[in-house]
Structure 1
C-alpha cells in the first residue's frame, strides 16, 4: 500500500508540475535545490571555519605557553614531577588575574599519563588514561579540542564546564626532544563569540551570493520562458493557419474534382446537343438536297429542272446558314494578349450586334495581367449572362460591371427583369448557368446568383486574379 501511495503521490506531483509555467517550475525546484545546496555547503564550511579557527587559536596559545614553559624542560625531564620551587613559580605566574581569567587550568603531562604539574594539586603525581590530545602532542603536533568531561582527570576534579583544551609538546632547548606535554584549559566564551561572528558573516555572504545567483538564473529563465511562450503562440497561430489553409485546399480540391466531373458531363451533354443540332438541322437539309439531285436528274423539262435546282440551292443555303449559326457559339474571338476590360467589351459588343439591344458596361483597368484561362472564363460568363438576360428578361437594362478588389476579379451581369422572349440570342452559343458555375469553380473561384436591386436577376463571379499562366 505504501508503494502504491508513493507512486500516486509522484504522479500527482508530476501532473501538477506540468500545469505550471517554466518560470514557476524553476522558481520552486531551483529554489529548493539551491537552498539544499546552500545549507549543505554552509554546514560543511562552518565546520571547516570552526576547525581552522580552533587550530589557529591553539597554535597561538601553544606558542605563548612555550615561551615560559620551555625553560622548565630540563626540570621536567629530570624527574616525575616538577620541583616544588618551580611549581611555586608557575603558580605565582598563573595566579595573575589577566592570566587566570583566560587560562584557569594548566597541567604538565609525562609520556606515560603521569601528571607532573597541575593547578589542581590533588592531581600531581597521579596517572590517568592518556587523552587523545596527549598522544598527538607526544608525536609533535599541537592539538586543540573541547573538554571531555568523562575523562578521569576531569572527573577527579568534578569539572562541569567545558573548556578548550590545548595540548602542546615541551621540547628540550638543545636536543629538541619532547620531554612532556602542556595541557592548558582556555575559557571558550571569547572563542565562541568569534566563531559566532565568523559563522554569521559566512552565512550572510552565502545567502547573498545564493540570492544573486538565483535572481540571475530566474531572470534568464523568465526571459527564456517569455521567448518560448511567444514562439509557442506564433507556432500555434501558424499551425492553425496551416490547418485553415489545408481545410480550404481540401474544399477547393473537392470543388475542382466536382467541377471537372461536371465539366466532363456537361461537355458530353453539349456534344450530344451539338450532334442533335447537326443531325436535325444541316444533316436533314443536306439529305433533302441529295434527294433533290435525283429529282433534277429525272426532270424531263427544263422548267421543271430549273425549279428543282432552285429548291436544291435553297436547301444547301439553309444548311450552310445552320452550320454557320452553330459554329458561332463554338469559336471564341481572338483574346490572347488583350487586357480584361477589352475582352469584356468584345463580349458585350458581340451581344449587342446579335440581339440589337444595349448593354451598360462599367469596367475598371486592372493593375496586373491575367491568364488566358481567366480571360476565357470572363468572356463566357459575360456571353452566357447576357444571353440569359435577353432570353428571360427581354434585354431590359442589361448591365455588366467588372472590378478589382483585394487581388480578386469581381465580374457581374444583371438585368431589370421583363417578358421572356422564349428563344436564345444565339443558337448553340449557351453553356448554361450550371456550366458557368463549374467553369468558375474549376479555377478556384465562386459563382453566385441573386436578385438584383432593380428587380431582375444578377449573376456574379469572384476569381483570384493570378497573373501569368497560373491556370494554364
Structure 2
C-alpha cells in the first residue's frame, strides 16, 4: 500500500527544493543582455563620434584651404586648366614642408572630370570619371572620406598609406557659382590618434554607464531575491508549524475518541458498581426492615415490640447511612460560579475535615475563567489524588500545587509515602486513576503519575484553559 502524503507536506517538499537564485539568473542573463546593449551602443556612439570628428576635420581643412585656393582659381571660369602663373604659386605654397607633410596630394577638378591642377603634373589635363565626393562638392557641399586606393587617379599616383580625401567646392567671386572642386589628401596620423582617444573615451563612458545600470539593477534584484528567500523561509516554517499542529490535532482527536469510549465504559462500570452497592447494602437492610415490620406486628408484649422497633430503626438508619455514602460520591457541590482557587480550597478543606490530616496548598494567581468541564475535572482530580495520598501514604506530606503557564493549567497532588490507611468511609468514589486519565485526556490534556525521589507519588495533570464565551 502506498503511503499517503498530505497536500501540506507535498507543498512543503516542493518549497524545500533549492530554487535557482534570481540573483544568479539576473547576473547571467542580465550581463549577456547588457553586454550586447553596451557593444551596440558603443559601436554606434564610436561611429557617430568618428563621423563627427572627420566632418569637423574636413570643415576646418576646407575653411583653411578655401581662403588660399579660391583667389588663385578664378581663371578657371574661362580656362580648362590652371594658368602657369597660378600653378607656380600653388606649387610653391604646397611645396613647403608644413603643407607637404599634412597635404601631400592636391587636385583641382572641373565639373567635366578634367583635372585642372595637380601636385602630380602627369595628371593635369586628364579626364576621369567624377568620384562621388566630386559630385557632392559640385552641389556646394564639403565631403570627406578615406581615400580609395583602387581609384584610377590614385593608382596613377601610386598612393600608399591612409589619407583622408576632402572635396572642397571653389566658387566664383561675383556669382558664388561653383567653378571647380579641390580634392585634398590629408594625412590621418594626428586624426587617427585623436579618433583612438575619442573611441576609447566613448567606450569608457558607455562601459561605465552600463556598469552603473547593471549594479543598480543587480542591487534591486538582490534585495528582491533576499525578500523572496525570507518569505520562503517564513512560509516553510509556517507550513512546518501547520503540519505539526495537524499532527497534534490528530493525536488529540484519537486520544479524545479513545477517552470518550473509555469514559462510557467506566460510566457503565460505575453504574454497575452503584447498583451492586445499593443492592448489597441499603437494599438488604431495607429488606430486613420489611421483615421486621411483621415481627413488630406479631409481638404481644410491649417489651418485645419495643425491641423489634429498635432493631427496625437500626436497620433503617444503616440503610440510610449507606445511601448517603453512595450519593455523596455522586454529587458535586455548587462550583459553577466559583473561581478555581476557591474550588481547590473547598476540596482541600473537605478532605482535611474527613481525614483529620493536613494538606499544604501552593496556588499561584489564576487569571481567566476555566470552563465548567475543567473545573469539574480539577475537582475530581483533587478528590482522587488526595484520597489516594491518604489511602496509600497515610496522608504523609500531602501537598497540592496549582500554576498557570500562559494558557496551560498545571495541577499536581503529591505525598511523601508511608503506610496507608483503610476503612475510612466516604473516601472511595470508584473513579480511579484510569478514569482520571481518560477524563483529562478527553479535554485535550496530559495526565501522568510519577514516583518522587526519596519516596512518595506525584500525580499531575496539564490542560489548556479557555475562557467561557459570555452571551450578551
TM category (shorter chain) comes to 0.7 to 0.9
Provide the residue aligned with 1:55 in structure 2.
55
Number of residue pairs aligned between Structure 1 and Structure 2: 451
SS in 2 for 1:173: coil
Distance apart, 1:284 and its partner CA? 4.0
Q: Distance in 2 between matches of 1:470 and 1:380?
A: 24
Provide the residue aligned with 1:255 in structure 2.
255
Contact 2:392 2:417 in 1 (8 A): yes
Contact 1:165 1:184 in 2 (8 A): yes
Provide the residue aligned with 1:318 in structure 2.
318
Contact 1:108 1:183 in 2 (8 A): yes
Distance 1:381 1:214, change over 3 A: same
After superposition, residues 202-241 of structure 1 pair within 5 angstroms as 202-241=202-241
List per-residue Cα deviations over 1:404-449 (Å, max 9, x = no partner).
2533433222334445556575266231111111122223321111
Provide the residue aligned with 1:8 in structure 2.
none
TM-score with structure 1 setting the length = 0.85
Distance apart, 1:287 and its partner CA? 4.3
Q: Distance in 2 between matches of 1:410 and 1:64?
A: 106
Provide the residue aligned with 1:406 in structure 2.
405
Is 1:114–2:114 an aligned residue pair? yes
TM-score with structure 2 setting the length = 0.85
Instruction: List alignment gaps of at least 5 residues for structure 2.
Output: 1-17
After superposition, residues 287-302 of structure 1 pair within 5 angstroms as 287-293=287-293, 299=298, 301=300
> RMSD over aligned Cα, in angstroms?
2.9
Provide the residue aligned with 1:336 in structure 2.
336
Contact 2:81 2:117 in 1 (8 A): yes
After superposition, residues 36-185 of structure 1 pair within 5 angstroms as 36-72=36-72, 74-185=74-185
Distance 1:233 1:32, change over 3 A: same
Contact 1:76 1:179 in 2 (8 A): yes
List per-residue Cα deviations over 1:59-109 (Å, max 9, x = no partner).
222232222333355422323322233222222222222222211111112
List per-residue Cα deviations over 1:4-63 (Å, max 9, x = no partner).
xxxxxxxxxxxxxx7664444434443333333222211111011001111121122223
My pick for the range that moved more, 100-109 or 145-154, is: 100-109
SS in 2 for 1:101: helix
Q: Distance in 1 between matches of 2:191 and 2:312?
A: 143
List per-residue Cα deviations over 1:100-146 (Å, max 9, x = no partner).
22111111122232212111111111122222212222233221000
Contact 2:115 2:125 in 1 (8 A): yes
Q: Distance in 1 between matches of 2:144 and 2:443?
A: 98
Distance 1:258 1:415, change over 3 A: same
Q: Distance in 1 between matches of 2:157 and 2:146?
A: 17
Provide the residue aligned with 1:358 in structure 2.
357
Q: Distance in 1 between matches of 2:93 and 2:425?
A: 142
Distance apart, 1:382 and its partner CA? 1.5
Provide the residue aligned with 1:391 in structure 2.
391
SS in 2 for 1:401: strand
Distance 1:357 1:454, change over 3 A: farther
Distance 1:337 1:469, change over 3 A: same
Distance 1:290 1:53, change over 3 A: same
Distance apart, 1:314 and its partner CA? 3.8
SS in 2 for 1:329: helix
Distance 1:470 1:279, change over 3 A: farther
Provide the residue aligned with 1:9 in structure 2.
none
Provide the residue aligned with 1:452 in structure 2.
452
Q: Distance in 1 between matches of 2:430 and 2:32?
A: 82
SS in 1 for 2:330: coil
Distance apart, 1:328 and its partner CA? 0.3
Contact 1:326 1:427 in 2 (8 A): no
Q: Distance in 2 between matches of 1:95 and 1:345?
A: 129
List per-residue Cα deviations over 1:200-244 (Å, max 9, x = no partner).
222222333333333333344444444444444344333333333
Is 1:469–2:468 an aligned residue pair? yes
Provide the residue aligned with 1:380 in structure 2.
380
Q: Distance in 1 between matches of 2:269 and 2:80?
A: 138
Q: Distance in 2 between matches of 1:273 and 1:119?
A: 140
Contact 2:73 2:82 in 1 (8 A): no
List per-residue Cα deviations over 1:159-200 (Å, max 9, x = no partner).
122210001222323333333221111011111111112112
My pick for the range that moved more, 318-327 or 201-210, is: 201-210
Q: Distance in 1 between matches of 2:425 and 2:256?
A: 30
Distance apart, 1:309 and its partner CA? 4.8
Contact 1:415 1:456 in 2 (8 A): yes
Provide the residue aligned with 2:12 in structure 1.
none
